[in-house]
Structure 1
Amino acid sequence: MNLADLDAFAAVARHRSFRRAAAKRGVAPSSMSKSVRDLEARLGVRLLNRTTRSVAPTAAGQRLLDRLSPALLEIAAAVDQVADEPGEPAGTVRINAPEPAVELILAPLVAEFLATYPKVRLEIVAEAAFVDIVKAGFDAGVRWDESLAQDMIAISLGAPQRYALVAAPEVIAQYGAPSAPRDLLTKPCVRIRFPSGVMPAWDFERDGVTTKIEPEARLVTTSLSLLLRAALDGVGFCSAFEGQVREHIAAGRLVSVMEDWLPPFPAPFLYYPSRDVPSALRAFIDFMKQRAS
């Protein structure tokens, strides 16, 4: 059985696209398609359902992917270990993380990490949906504690964070500043929708009392950059991580309101499935631990 064909199938099945899988590997989509066809011909079973718009594993393909992904990770780890020079980590580290964690925690440290470990290659996928990192072929993930699997090893990535509720000065002048969550039900708001279709409620807490509201939104988007731009342009009130809007608040472009309703919460965690990790991942873990401290 050709290992390259198995790897190609796993990549296409994970990405649900020949084009995206090919782009990740720097090859032509036709090459990936041929590898999968050859594998299906040898096995005598269809592994992927293909349409002009989508690709998805068949039942047999999903069973193969579930068993294959951990094995491919082990092979990659073995190759990375052999490729290591003494005392110098080498190899690829694939990380899955939500966009705010990428922007606020990972992005500021990427250049320093790569300069410190020149033989390590990072692949960071920003994804809002929670994924099984083992099945999807990632070495580690970043999530907040409510999304962590119990069987994962997890390390905190720093100091507590908090949300901020902000609006442009002209919005405050026209509609007034809310003093309690229910006040937002009569004010213009902009909200985020996850790719899964879920539009998260806004959570508030004060004096031990938790309140969730779902205000009407003048704008709903899956784009964090559009969400922030709309808030800056005066479309409405916006809930965002404090780190994403701190500079705008300091410059007077946005006004922070209801700060006493938004207590801090723990930072996200870097998590991974095994204590026996390749040297490149170990270097990344130790680097993040040191920066978090």
Structure 2
Amino acid sequence: MARTRSGLAEYEAVVAVARLGSFRAAAVELGMSTSALSHAVAALEARLGVRLFNRTTRSVSPTDAGDQFIARIAPALGEIGQAVEAVNSHRETPTGTLRINTSAGAARMILAPIVLEYLRRYPEMNVVIVTEGKLVDIVGQGFDAGIRLAEAVPNDMIAVPIGGDQRMLVVGAPSYFRDSPRPQVPDDLLGHECIRARMASGSIWRWEFECRGQAIAVDAPGRLVLDEMTLMLEAALAGVGLAYLSQWSVAGHIAAGRLVPVLEDCSPPYPGLCLYYPGRRHVPAGLRALIGLIRERNAAGVSFNGEIPIS
């Protein structure tokens, strides 16, 4: 029987394409060009003499032979990766790539104080952050960790709090309040022009409050519906209407007088962001280093209010 030889990179390419269902997505994850990845898979197929994928202009799926092949090599690749990580754990400085899935709002919050500091401390580490509105299976999608609000972290994951509690505020520009009275209770919002938030599910986000121990949810009315918090902030600054945004994202504008907060007594704090990861796996050295940095910040009492992810 002819002996076949192949590099681990080709096997990793095949497994990534099968998992993600896309040559382009697999190339991004592996840090290579789509053409290089396609050539690697084609070269392996040529050596094996078997087609591993059915390709169309719209989809990629494993053939029966591909399914069998991937089922055998994927666990082996996982073992090799864990072996490499185990060796790296003995290094003074971790090396490799850390892949994190989060929301756009959470990514904005953690980028400067955590991720950039992490890169400064560990120059041999790379960080790939993928932002999505919806929760994903971080294990199945090949991520080392996720960052979401504490209430959204899956029960089977280990969670590490990031900073302290968060808080949402209703804000409006001074120009808006020249023609409209400030709301005194949440129900007053029904008579105001509000900038509404569309969630990833397609539903409209109801503004949630707590007044004297009573939970209140308001379907805030308004003609403008947006699905990105930065756009909502821009609209609020322009005086279009009231917006419901994180204290972290509006604090500077409030201090400068560009925005005015209202209903503060009905805007209590809530549990903030957590980094989470599967506990049943070996924790990579790079992820352990990130967890250490987060816990260091927490121990020092460093907190921040982050923008709520729409999910």
Q: 1:89 aligns with which of 86, 91, 94?
A: 94
- Cα distance in 2, alignment partners of residues 101 and 254 from structure 1: 22
Larger Rg: 2
Report the counterpart of residue 212 of structure 2 in structure 1.
Answer: 207
- Cα distance in 2, alignment partners of residues 259 and 81 from structure 1: 49
Q: Which amino acid aligns with 1:280?
A: G
In structure 1, the gaps of 5 or more residues are none
Question: Deviation digits for residues 150-209 of structure 1, max 9, x if unmatched?
Answer: 111111112111011111111122222112222222211112323332332211111221
**Do 2:151 and 2:271's aligned partners in 1 also have CA atoms closer than 8 Å?**
no
Gap change, CA 1:64 and 1:86, over 3 Å in 2: same
**Do 1:40 and 1:47's aligned partners in 2 also have CA atoms closer than 8 Å?**
no
Corresponding position: 1:150 with 2:162 = no
Gap change, CA 1:73 and 1:269, over 3 Å in 2: farther
| Most deviating of 281-290 and 93-102 | 93-102
| Most deviating of 139-148 and 28-37 | 28-37
Corresponding position: 1:180 with 2:185 = yes
**C-alpha displacement of 1:67:** 9.6
Gap change, CA 1:12 and 1:198, over 3 Å in 2: farther
- Cα distance in 2, alignment partners of residues 202 and 176 from structure 1: 19
Question: Deviation digits for residues 221-280 of structure 1, max 9, x if unmatched?
Answer: 222221211111111111111101100010011111101111001121111102631211
Gap change, CA 1:70 and 1:144, over 3 Å in 2: farther
**Do 1:22 and 1:29's aligned partners in 2 also have CA atoms closer than 8 Å?**
yes
Gap change, CA 1:71 and 1:152, over 3 Å in 2: farther
| Most deviating of 166-175 and 215-224 | 215-224
- Cα distance in 1, alignment partners of residues 114 and 101 from structure 2: 16
Q: 1:190 aligns with which of 188, 195, 205?
A: 195
Report the counterpart of residue 302 of structure 2 in structure 1.
Answer: none
- Cα distance in 2, alignment partners of residues 66 and 184 from structure 1: 56
**C-alpha displacement of 1:58:** 7.5
- Cα distance in 2, alignment partners of residues 235 and 72 from structure 1: 54
Gap change, CA 1:216 and 1:62, over 3 Å in 2: farther
- Cα distance in 1, alignment partners of residues 237 and 149 from structure 2: 27
DSSP-derived class of the 2:215 partner: strand
The 5 Å alignment of 1:63-212 reads 74-83=79-88, 86-212=91-217
Task: Give the alignment's Cα RMSD to 1 decimal.
Answer: 3.2
Q: Which amino acid aligns with 2:96?
A: G
- Cα distance in 2, alignment partners of residues 97 and 251 from structure 1: 30
In structure 2, the gaps of 5 or more residues are 300-311
| Percentage of identical aligned residues | 42
Gap change, CA 1:27 and 1:260, over 3 Å in 2: same
Corresponding position: 1:280 with 2:286 = yes
- Cα distance in 2, alignment partners of residues 213 and 68 from structure 1: 52
Q: Which amino acid aligns with 1:162?
A: R
- Cα distance in 1, alignment partners of residues 234 and 67 from structure 2: 40
Residue correspondences, number: 291
Question: What TM-score do the two structures reach when normalised by structure 2?
Answer: 0.80
**Do 1:218 and 1:236's aligned partners in 2 also have CA atoms closer than 8 Å?**
no
**Do 2:165 and 2:269's aligned partners in 1 also have CA atoms closer than 8 Å?**
yes
Question: Deviation digits for residues 95-147 of structure 1, max 9, x if unmatched?
Answer: 11122222223432222221211222111222221111101111111111221
| Most deviating of 227-236 and 70-79 | 70-79
Q: Which amino acid aligns with 1:252?
A: G
